[in-house]
Amino acid sequence: MTVRPLVILPDSQLRLTSKPLAGADKDVRKLVDDMFQTMYDAPGIGLAAIQIGVPLRVVTMDVSKRDDKQEPMALLNPEIVWKSEEMREMEEGCLSIPEYYETVERPDRVRLRYRDIDFKEREIEADGVLATCIQHEVDHLNGVLFIDYLSKLKRDRVMKRYAKLARMKDDEA
């Protein structure tokens, strides 16, 4: 398992639409292992493959509390098939937008269809943090970031801030 470098805003890769998998071979298993290692190292509760520069529909998640037993989930080709009408506000952050948090309103519950690591079709219904994390990560697969749910003013401020940080990093290199 390898910790891979994260793709950070304003990198345009984050706006790519990820491609579905045809199956789960040893390369996909290695990708999932690396994604878990990267996600836990960050530390984060979810990671989409595009966040490490791989435009495939793969997500890793673990919304267990830090001191609890880990509950890793690998989602291949995840698709939200139902969203509740009831909404919930929750603070979100993103490994690709480090140290920035904002409250986002999303559906409270979702039903997700996906393939597990053995490429068997599964379906789960989720609420709370798990539902928010699922929606956040599936958005990544579609080139959508949580800042897209913010006002234009807030989104523009975030984009400017991270563009400036990227320029400063390039100047140091």
Domain ranges within the chain, ordered by starting residue = 12-172
Q: What is the pLDDT of residue 66?
A: 76
Is the pLDDT at 133 greater than 80? The verdict is yes
Confidence of residue 103 (pLDDT cuts 50, 70, 90): very high
Whole-number Cα distances in Å, 132 to 68, 85, 98, 172? 20, 14, 18, 36
User: Distance between CA 159 and CA 152 in Å, rounded?
Assistant: 10
CB contact set of 10 (below 8 Å; sequence gap of 6+): 159, 162, 163, 166
Residues 48 and 59: beta-carbon distance below 8 Å = yes
For residues 125-133, give the mean pLDDT.
97
Please name the fold of domain 12-172: Peptide Deformylase (3.90.45)
Q: What are the pLDDT digits (tens) for 9-22?
A: 999 999 999 999 99
Percentage, residues of the chain above pLDDT 70: 100
For residues 34-45, give the mean pLDDT.
96
User: Distance between CA 113 and CA 110 in Å, rounded?
Assistant: 10
Annotated catalytic residues are 137
Respond yes or no on whether the N-terminal peptide bond of residue 10 is cis (omega within 30° of 0): yes
Is residue 160 within a helix (H) or strand (E), and if so which, with residue range? helix 152-172
Is the pLDDT at 173 greater than 90? The verdict is no
What does pLDDT average to over the chain? 96
Is the pLDDT at 140 greater than 80? The verdict is yes
Percentage, residues of the chain above pLDDT 90: 92
Handedness of CA 61, 51, 40, 107 (dihedral sign): negative
Q: What is the pLDDT of residue 35?
A: 98
Q: What are the pLDDT digits (tens) for 62-98?
A: 999 877 889 999 999 999 999 999 999 999 999 999 9
Residues 95 and 36: beta-carbon distance below 8 Å = no
Confidence of residue 1 (pLDDT cuts 50, 70, 90): confident
Is the pLDDT at 110 greater than 80? The verdict is yes
Alpha-helix runs per DSSP H in 19-151: 26-41, 128-141
